[in-house]
Amino acid sequence: MNPIKALLADVPFMVIDGAMATELEALGCDLNDALWSARLLAQAPEKIRQVHQAYFEAGADCAITASYQATVPGFMQAGMTAEEARALIQLSVTLAQQARDAVWQPGQTDRPKPLVAASVGPYGAYLADGSEYRGGYDLDRAGLVEFHRERFELLLAARADLLAAETLPSLEEALAITDLLAEHPGAQAWVTFSAKDGQHISDGTPIEECAAALANCPGVAAIGVNCTALAHIESLIQSIRRQCDLPILVYPNSGEVYDAVTKTWHPAQCDHTAADISGLAQGVEHWLAAGASGIGGCCRTTPEDIQALAEWRRSR
């Protein structure tokens, strides 16, 4: 069963959570590391659970786990054993589940049971060189299948509600994910791309081509975009909707611009076009009208942003 469609039977759209790293930094955590927030799975797991709980309390229907940059090779390069690495990857799911259990109780009727989506970050996130915003990897589709396989299986075994294959810069990597889904009947995953403009994902492939390729793949629960500028979201939703009937998920950045070379954020240069949307809550009506089924936030968004989305939904 598609868990997103099941949840959407109870709400007009799914509220996805916001940035993990932004909140961890606000709690005083130093994330200047190749493992990024995944390092805290070993060093401060209680902080990760705290952030998940803050998003659930804000009204999120879905938490994305802190496994975006968590891979067995990455942890081993940081000095951990393979066994320790595998345990930490599965811990990412447990922490989100614990946070959900602290906020939502069986039998609660004022909201549906929130989902836990286990993050499957792109190969570029493991490389930690910004290539999740470029593509152009040194691995082909078969190589990408093998790279993703172990974490994919560990997260499924941890009993997440579904996987979140996110910030993918290329269709080839998305198709590698569908190859793994085909090996695990019943497994469900959403696939979201990073996009460079209102029509193309990061490596230049038209988003319509991606949507058409994934529309009928078994196990693909939703398609969408994340870690993308606010101004591009409406056009991207419209392009996806022309090619498929699956739920469309969007969780863009806050509006600031990330420099993958310097690893710093800068204010957006606004061109004052009609597509310019200042903040998640201001974009909701546009995105829902275009065909979105789930809305949340990526980099630099906060529980306050997600609370605004949840309050907007309650007010309608």
pLDDT digits (tens, 9 = 90+) for 191-249: 999 999 999 999 999 999 999 999 999 999 999 999 999 999 999 999 999 999 999 99
pLDDT for position 273: 34
The DSSP secondary-structure symbol of 113 reads P
In this structure, the strands spanning 264-266 and 257-259 are antiparallel
Residue with the two structure tokens 């579904």 = 162
pLDDT for position 316: 87
Contact 50, 27 (CB under 8 A): yes
What is each CA distance from 116 to 9, 30, 113, 166, in whole angstroms? 17, 25, 10, 14
pTM comes to: 0.93
Confidence of residue 277 (pLDDT cuts 50, 70, 90): very low
Q: What value does the mean pLDDT take over residues 293-316?
A: 96
Structure tokens at 124: 């570029």
Contact 66, 22 (CB under 8 A): no
CATH placement of domain 3-315: 3.20.20.330
Q: How far apart are CA 216 and CA 293, in angstroms?
A: 18
pLDDT tens string 126-143: 998 888 888 889 999 999
Of the two residues 107 and 260, the one the predictor is more confident about is: 107
Q: What value does the mean pLDDT take over residues 69-89?
A: 96
Q: Is the pLDDT of residue 85 over 70?
A: yes
Q: Is the pLDDT of residue 258 over 70?
A: no
pLDDT for position 264: 56
User: What average pLDDT does the chain have?
Assistant: 92
Q: What value does the mean pLDDT take over residues 92-107?
A: 97
In this structure, the strands spanning 294-295 and 248-251 are parallel
Q: What value does the mean pLDDT take over residues 110-128?
A: 96
Q: How far apart are CA 245 and CA 269, in angstroms?
A: 34
Q: How far apart are CA 85 and CA 105, in angstroms?
A: 31
- Give counts: helices (H), strands (E), the chain: 13, 10
Q: Is 138 buried (19+), middle (13-18) or exposed (0-12) by CB count in 10 A? A: exposed
pLDDT for position 30: 82
pLDDT for position 275: 37
Confidence of residue 261 (pLDDT cuts 50, 70, 90): low
pLDDT for position 270: 36
Q: What value does the mean pLDDT take over residues 296-305?
A: 96
Q: How far apart are CA 215 and CA 244, in angstroms?
A: 5
Of the two residues 107 and 37, the one the predictor is more confident about is: 107
Instruction: Delimit the domains of the chain by residue range.
Output: 3-315
Q: Hey, which bits of 55-178 come out as E strands?
A: 62-64, 115-120, 162-168
Q: How far apart are CA 95 and CA 101, in angstroms?
A: 10
What is each CA distance from 316 to 145, 248, 310, 312, in whole angstroms? 43, 20, 10, 7
Which residue positions form the known binding site for Zn(2+)? 227, 298-299
Which residue positions form the known binding site? 227, 298-299
